[in-house]
Amino acid sequence: MELHKKNLEHILITGGAGFIGSYLTNFFLDKNFRVTVLDNISRGNIRRLKKRNNLKIIKGDIRNPKIVDKACKKVNSVIHLAAINGTENFYTKPELVLEVAISGTMNVINSCIKHKIAKLYLASSSEVYQNPETIPTNEKVRLIVPDPHNPRYSYGGGKIISELLCLNYGKKYFKKVVIFRPHNVFGPDMGWEHVIPQLVLKIKNRKRNTITLQGSGKESRAFIEINDFCEAFFKVYNKGKHLEIYNIGNDNEIKINDLLKKIIKILNLKINIKKIALKQGSPLRRCPEITKIKKIGFKPNYNIDKSLIDTVNWYTNNNKKS
């Protein structure tokens, strides 16, 4: 077994106990990779990870260069996911969001260079587009921070800086640097700060059978189911080109009001919806153009109606962590 393990491709996944990270970790383990996970478990959960001989878990903070250096030893490639995500956190912890993004990415780059790791995959975000001029939005649309005073943009700003770091260091020190921008990935146990669990939480905690919805309800998103995301990323991992950027998402938009109605229908409830003002900085529409990733073989397989049932049921049967 030990000899067999040495012959396997060895990847490091930072933030590998988080929602996307844990699914990717299990996905790569199923593909017979060796996987090291680096996670401080502040938002992740080790119980999400399959128990395998080919899995190593290092508990530590991405901001600590010594920990990152330890995690990068004898690794062939790095998938850098570690970040402070969730819209609530953008508003309440902007300095931490920025510190993790910038310091963490620089630590990963430095350790990759030190250990001569040739391949680096950076998880960026659809947040880099904010309110784009064209929808569906392709990878060449300009990246902006509309208002540096608005803490909402701490996450998008941190991701833009991370992209710049990886692309510029990538030209000199790496054989393959690829950036991928996830768009509204969803599934069971995805955390509590995103739109779907927030809507379920509102329903669970409702009073007098009425819930509030930010905005007009006509705001829209295009959601990709987590298993689809893993298949898409595997295409990027194998076929993505050096210094290229790939949207990973689905191009089927849904209005938030319609999404809420689907959730209410799944729960077999009748609920009144009260509209309130949208938070400043929240994008009105978000939908990726996915032509580029389709060209390397990806095709979405999951229907939101079926996938939403599993997600809603998970949140209905689980309580929010304190």
Q: How far apart are CA 236 and CA 248, in angstroms?
A: 9
Instruction: Indicate whether 1 pLDDT > 80.
Output: no
Q: Please, where are the H alpha helices in 45-191? A: 65-71, 87-92, 94-114, 153-173
Residue 293 sits at φ, ψ, to 5 deg, of -75, -25
Look at residue 30 in the predicted model and tell me its pLDDT.
96
Calculate the CA 98 to chain-centre distance.
16
Give the lowest-confidence range in 31-40, 61-70, 146-155, 278-287.
Answer: 278-287
pTM over 0.75: yes
pLDDT per residue over 270-297, tens digit each?
Answer: 999 989 888 777 888 999 999 999 999 9
Look at residue 144 in the predicted model and tell me its pLDDT.
93
Domain boundaries, the chain: 2-186+224-248
Measured between its terminal Cα atoms, the distance across the chain in Å is 41
Determine the average pLDDT of the residues in 224-228.
97
Q: How far apart are CA 189 and CA 112, in angstroms?
A: 31
Instruction: Indicate whether 322 pLDDT > 60.
Output: no
Instruction: Indicate whether 187 pLDDT > 80.
Output: yes
Q: Residue 39: is it exposed, middle or buried by C-beta count within 10 angstroms (0-12/13-18/19+)?
A: buried
Cβ distance 157 to 145 under 8 Å? Answer: yes
For the chain, the average pLDDT equals: 93
Q: How far apart are CA 25 and CA 23, in angstroms?
A: 5
The first and second tokens of residue 258, run together, are 């319609």
Which range, 63-67, 89-93, 196-200, is most confident?
A: 63-67
Residue type, 258: D
Look at residue 5 in the predicted model and tell me its pLDDT.
56
Look at residue 50 in the predicted model and tell me its pLDDT.
85
Cβ distance 83 to 77 under 8 Å? Answer: no
pLDDT per residue over 240-261, tens digit each?
Answer: 999 999 999 999 999 999 999 9
DSSP letters for 109-134: HHHHHHTT--EEEEE--GGGTSS-SS
Find, among 247, 197, 249, the residue nearest to 222 by Cα: 249
Cβ distance 83 to 14 under 8 Å? Answer: no
Determine the average pLDDT of the residues in 133-147.
95
Look at residue 4 in the predicted model and tell me its pLDDT.
47
- DSSP label of 84: -
In the block, tokens 């310091």 appear at 103
The size of the chain, in residues, is 322
Cβ distance 292 to 178 under 8 Å? Answer: no
Pick the CATH number of 2-186+224-248 from 3.60.20.10, 3.30.360.10, 3.40.50.720, 3.50.50.60: 3.40.50.720
pLDDT per residue over 208-217, tens digit each?
Answer: 889 989 899 9
Look at residue 6 in the predicted model and tell me its pLDDT.
60
pLDDT per residue over 42-53, tens digit each?
Answer: 888 888 998 889
